[in-house]
């Protein structure tokens, strides 16, 4: 099966960068700090902006308290940024896009303060555009992040591939009208029938570009 588009939009954590262990340690510490159930926190946070997660678990907190908790969680995550690495296939795929002059962006729920150190630790190339928690008013699963990503590349959402590993991000990409490729998502993930493709690793993908700028994405044989 071949898919065609003109640009690529990538989630960062869990899609390009292996940061799950860093994220979960920070948020489990947050759960203990506020007396919340650790499993509930761990399952809620993935793919969502930190401030939304904090509001969820501290619904009665005022803005000063939210800001203080956000600063604390951010510090926990930044502290271990050097433990983040690239995921298999990320370097090769991004190098291929660069060599073919195919526009791509990173669309992350993390803030610049968190995303930039992880991007650097994973030794990933610089994208053509960034969308972070600092650029948006509504985070994933709302479509706003991926709509903004497409806009920053100067493309219609339907002409963008979205690569995501978290349910919130998949829903964001689908509702934005993009072609969504799920990367190593768990069983039971909703709306998988609407996905353009589902892969276990970025190593499975091949990219070609036609003279008119149309990009073809296929699954590697075997």
Give me the active site residues, please: 11, 13
Six-digit token pair at 126?
């610089």
**88 within 8 A of 63, measured Cβ to Cβ:** no
Residue 133, SS3 per DSSP: helix
**Dist CA 53 CA 155 (whole Å):** 30
Question: Which candidate, 168, 167, 165, places its Cα nearest to that of 142?
Answer: 168
Radius of gyration of the CA atoms of the chain, in A: 17
| Spatial separation of the C-alpha atoms in residues 205 and 186, rounded to whole Å | 19
How far apart, in Å, are the Cα atoms of 133 and each of 1, 111, 114, 200?
34, 5, 10, 27
Structure tokens at 128: 């053509």
Reference 42, options 148, 166, 158; nearest CA is 166
Helices (H), 35-143: 38-45, 50-57, 63-79, 90-99, 112-121
């Amino acid at each position: 099966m071949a898919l065609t588009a003109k640009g690529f939009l990538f989630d960062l954590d869990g899609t390009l960068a292996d940061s799950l262990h860093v994220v979960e340690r920070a948020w489990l510490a947050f759960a203990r700090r506020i007396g919340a159930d650790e499993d509930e926190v761990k399952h809620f946070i993935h793919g969502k902006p930190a401030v939304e997660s904090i509001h969820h678990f501290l619904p009665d907190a005022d803005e000063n308290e939210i800001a203080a908790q956000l600063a604390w969680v951010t510090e926990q995550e930044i502290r271990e940024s050097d433990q983040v690495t690239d995921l298999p296939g990320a370097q090769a795929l991004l190098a291929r896009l660069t060599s073919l002059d195919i526009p791509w962006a990173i669309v992350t729920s993390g803030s610049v303060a968190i995303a930039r150190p992880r991007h650097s630790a994973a030794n990933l190339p610089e994208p053509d555009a960034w969308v972070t928690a600092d650029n948006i008013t509504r985070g994933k699963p709302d479509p706003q992040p991926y709509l903004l990503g497409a806009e920053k590349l100067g493309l219609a959402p339907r002409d963008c591939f979205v690569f995501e590993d978290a349910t919130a991000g998949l829903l964001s990409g689908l509702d934005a009208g993009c072609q969504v490729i799920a990367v190593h998502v768990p069983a039971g993930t909703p709306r998988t029938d609407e996905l353009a493709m589902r892969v276990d690793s970025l190593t499975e993908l091949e990219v070609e570009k036609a003279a008119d700028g149309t990009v073809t994405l296929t699954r590697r044989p075997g």
